[in-house]
Amino acid sequence: MEAVRHWVISDTHFKHDRIYSFTGSSGLKVRPEFGSAEEGDWAMIERWNAIVRPWDHIYHLGDVGFGPDVAAIVKALVGKKRLILGNHDTKDVREYRDMGFQKVYGTHHWGKGIWLSHIPLASESIGNLVNIHGHIHERAPYGPQYRNVSVERIGYRPVLIHSVVAQSYEVPQQHGSSEVAAKRTIEAT
């Protein structure tokens, strides 16, 4: 068996139709690539399962989804899943475990100087550590210690934790006034 890889993703919002009509501060749709939750959900499931292996560990940094059908989606996702609770993850911890999350956290110190959270942590709390988070969707991270892995920033598929820390993964970017997604590489600051 190949070595375990560690992945991260946030803010999938499975089964959340309304998010596909939300607009950001720019006035552009937050998720212009898809017209509905069904379309976006299938794309995220396919992209996840195409790269994550059954023995890989994947940290979902919160806001998994809405409604009773979310459990079926989570069970269909490959990998050993861990959940960092988000502001929309209001079910009992046992329900998330029944969905297929092996572990459930509020925040998690991943080691090697990395904090995983849903909401960006206060800079006073993390010192010189890196904070990988979600919650702010398409918006840029707050500073050089922060890495936003909301699906809108990472191409709607998991990314490897080490590439997030190195800031060497591709993210979608809305170009000008159009809602066409383009890819760019994040450069280290």
Q: Which residues of the chain have pLDDT under 50?
A: 171-189
Residue 142 has a pLDDT of: 87
The widest CA-to-CA distance across the chain, in whole angstroms, is 47
Question: Quick check: 11 and 134 in contact, CB under 8 A?
Answer: yes
Q: What are phi and psi of 34, to 5 degrees?
A: -130, 150
pLDDT, tens only, 59-84: 999 999 998 899 999 999 999 999 99
Q: Which pairs count as long-range contacts for 142-145, CB under 8 Å and 24+ apart, including other chains?
A: 144/189
